[in-house]
């Protein structure tokens, strides 16, 4: 027993200090992109053409973070990727950006903060995701991210859930299961679109086998971009949206 206590003391606190302290992700992480509006139009055109997601509007010089998979193919003179992982948004239109996003805390709804600010139960549905979004959601339960310290947990039954956390492009085969899960949840209920697939179809954009836009099926309250969203992006979005502030 003493050996265990000594080992734990030597290990120290393993949980991320966020939100009490800011954290910096590894250098190769690609967060919020910054667009250089003064870039040569020919370079912008080439970036738009190269983008596998058709996420770049060369005329407006914007990137759609709902479609972007953060592959880095446009990085250079036109786009610089920052380490900012705070990407959660409440409106789909706000994800089309030149490099800034609205303050999520200011956009969170008062009734959700009142109802779920101290306790939030999530039901996760993988609607044909590739498992990367699901894996990076799963790690939120580890001691490092420790989602439970904020009163947020995942539950097995939709009847116990306050919010539906959807990943994947919603294949036609998963559509009915997703709608049945949503119908089984008590009111009021929140819908979260996590990952490029759930927001826009992601790499499956344009396929006839998918719905590709969760908002066309259910009313989305919170968008969490990424492919997959970094766990810190999800943690920040959930805590900020449901508590109205980080922490």
Binding site for ligand SF4 (CB under 6 A): 51-53, 55-56, 63, 68-74, 129-130, 132-133, 167-168, 195-197, 202-203, 227-228
Q: Give whichever of 61 and 243 is closer to ligand SF4, judged by the CB atom.
A: 61
Q: Give whichever of 195 and 231 is closer to ligand SF4, judged by the CB atom.
A: 195
CB of 28 to ligand SF4, least distance (A): 13
Query: What Rg do the C-alpha atoms of the chain give, in angstroms?
Result: 19
- DSSP-derived letter for residue 92 is G
Q: Give whichever of 108 and 124 is closer to ligand SF4, judged by the CB atom.
A: 124
Give the residue carrying structure tokens 């959807």: 166
CB of 136 to ligand SF4, least distance (A): 8
d(CA 17, CA 186) in angstroms, rounded, equals: 34
CB of 191 to ligand SF4, least distance (A): 16
What Cα–Cα distance (Å) separates residue 8 from each residue in 14, 26, 229? 10, 26, 31
CB of 189 to ligand SF4, least distance (A): 22
- DSSP-derived letter for residue 229 is P
What Cα–Cα distance (Å) separates residue 178 from each residue in 116, 138, 173, 218? 22, 19, 10, 10
Pick from 56, 162, 155, 171: nearest CA to 109: 162
Q: Give whichever of 108 and 214 is closer to ligand SF4, judged by the CB atom.
A: 214
Q: Give whichever of 133 and 161 is closer to ligand SF4, judged by the CB atom.
A: 133
Q: Which residues pair with 153 in a beta bridge?
A: 121
CB of 234 to ligand SF4, least distance (A): 11
Q: How do strand 120-126 and strand 152-154 relate by DSSP bridges?
A: parallel
CB of 54 to ligand SF4, least distance (A): 8
Q: Give whichever of 225 and 244 is closer to ligand SF4, judged by the CB atom.
A: 225
Q: Are 26 and 63 in contact (CB under 8 A)?
A: no
d(CA 186, CA 3) in angstroms, rounded, equals: 47
């Amino acid at each position: 027993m003493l050996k265990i206590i000594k080992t734990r003391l030597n290990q120290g606190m393993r949980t991320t200090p966020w939100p009490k302290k800011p954290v910096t992700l590894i250098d190769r992480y690609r967060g919020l992109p910054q667009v250089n509006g003064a870039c040569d139009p020919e370079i912008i055109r080439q970036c738009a053409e190269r983008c596998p997601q058709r996420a770049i509007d060369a005329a407006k010089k914007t990137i759609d973070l709902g479609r972007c998979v953060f592959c880095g193919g446009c990085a250079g003179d036109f786009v610089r990727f920052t380490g900012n992982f705070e990407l959660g948004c409440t409106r789909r239109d706000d994800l089309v950006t030149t490099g800034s996003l609205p303050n999520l805390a200011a956009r969170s709804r008062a009734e959700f903060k009142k109802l779920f600010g101290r306790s939030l139960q999530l039901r996760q549905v993988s609607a044909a995701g590739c498992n990367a979004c699901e894996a990076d959601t799963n790690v939120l339960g580890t001691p490092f991210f420790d989602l439970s310290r904020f009163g947020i947990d995942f539950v097995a039954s939709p009847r116990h859930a306050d919010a539906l956390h959807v990943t994947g492009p919603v294949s036609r085969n998963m559509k009915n299961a997703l709608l049945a899960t949503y119908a089984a949840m008590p009111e009021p209920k929140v819908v979260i679109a996590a990952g490029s697939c759930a927001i826009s179809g992601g790499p499956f954009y344009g396929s006839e086998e998918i719905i590709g836009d969760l908002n066309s099926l259910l009313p989305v309250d919170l968008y969490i971009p990424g492919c997959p969203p970094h766990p810190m992006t999800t943690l920040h979005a959930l805590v900020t949206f449901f508590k109205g502030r980080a922490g």
